[in-house]
């Protein structure tokens, strides 16, 4: 089943986010290689593809997991969580309708 991993950033953690990004992206690439990643990306803090110093307010990942517990466990192990970039993470079942 698909799950949405919706994360909210801790304020003023852009530098920490950038420092931790390679490890975070490695985990996403592992899901991609397994054919389980549907989409992933950050939420810019301003209405721009490149928010610059404004940074980001969180992230969204939609991926396939065996269960809600497996999705939550994956989310809890994210390097952004360990580094304190994420203040909170919500994991919900997701039903893709379109496209």
Interior/surface letters 47-62, b for 16+ CB within 10 angstroms, e for the rest = eeeebeeebbebbebb
Quote the CA–CA distance of 70 and 87 in Å, as a whole number.
20
Quote the CA–CA distance of 67 and 85 in Å, as a whole number.
25
Interior/surface letters 16-34, b for 16+ CB within 10 angstroms, e for the rest = ebeebeeebeebbeebeee
Are the C-beta atoms of residues 43 and 56 closer than 8 Å to each other?
yes
pLDDT string in tens for the chain (99-residue length)? 999 999 999 999 999 999 999 999 999 999 999 999 999 999 999 999 999 999 999 999 999 999 999 999 999 999 999 999 999 999 999 999 999
Which helix (H) or strand (E) element contains residue 7?
strand 2-9
């Amino acid at each position: 089943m698909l799950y949405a991993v919706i994360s909210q950033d801790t304020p003023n953690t852009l530098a920490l986010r950038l420092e931790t990004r390679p490890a975070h992206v490695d985990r996403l690439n592992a899901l991609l290689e397994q054919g389980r990643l549907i989409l992933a990306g950050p939420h810019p803090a301003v209405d721009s593809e490149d928010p610059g110093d404004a940074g980001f307010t969180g992230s969204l990942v939609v991926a396939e997991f065996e269960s809600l517990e497996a999705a939550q466990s994956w989310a809890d192990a994210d390097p952004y969580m360990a580094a304190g970039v994420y203040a909170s993470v919500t994991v919900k079942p997701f039903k893709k309708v379109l496209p």
